[in-house]
Amino acid sequence: MNKTIIAIAIVGVVLVGGYFLFRGSYQSTPVPQISNQQPTTQPSDLEPSVSEQPSQQPPTSQTPEVKENLVTYSNSGYSPSTLTIKKGETVTFKNQSSNSMWTASAKHPTHVVYSGTSLSEHCPDPDNTAFDTCTSIEPGDSWSFKFDISGTWKYHNHLNPADTGTIVVE
């Protein structure tokens, strides 16, 4: 008799516990939709429906895709040696060599060509307006520069002036 009562009590606890456990998984919270139109729904329309399925299409972006302009610096120099971009685009110079690099506008050692100022006049360059890192960039690090002036701009590694490249800004 005692075993029967214990078995019934265990089954009852399992059933009651299962009821509370699964009851919580069927509740959902409505997610408000952002729209440029005036809302036309009634409060009762906001309650979730079992038949509604979320959209499988990814959201469309209103911002244009940004093209990444990358120049890598390795132990053999800059690659690509010439890069053509549009005015206003940014180029990232990534140091993948085993040494420091210091990318700067030609002509070595003055760095005067892009900004019209000499090395001593534009470094340090807190506004990043001169085509010159103004310091060495360690291996693994990178530096980016936005080209706002159209033209053909030669550059070099100030720490190894034989390593050169060209940015063509259209």
Cα R_g (the chain), whole angstroms: 32
Angle at 75 between CA 71 and CA 78, to 5 degrees: 25
Distances (CA, A) of 28 to 21, 31, 57, 106: 15, 9, 21, 63
What are the residues whose beta carbons fall under 8 Å from the beta carbon of 124, sequence distance 6 or more? 134, 135
Which residue ranges make up each domain of the chain? 69-169
Interatomic CA distance for residues 144 and 131, integer angstroms: 10
What string of pLDDT tens digits covers the 170 residues of the chain? 688 888 787 877 777 666 665 565 444 444 444 444 444 445 444 555 455 555 555 555 555 555 689 999 999 999 999 999 999 999 999 999 999 999 999 887 777 788 777 777 888 878 778 899 989 999 999 999 999 999 999 999 999 999 999 999 99
Domain 69-169 class, CATH top level:
mainly beta
pTM of structure: 0.59
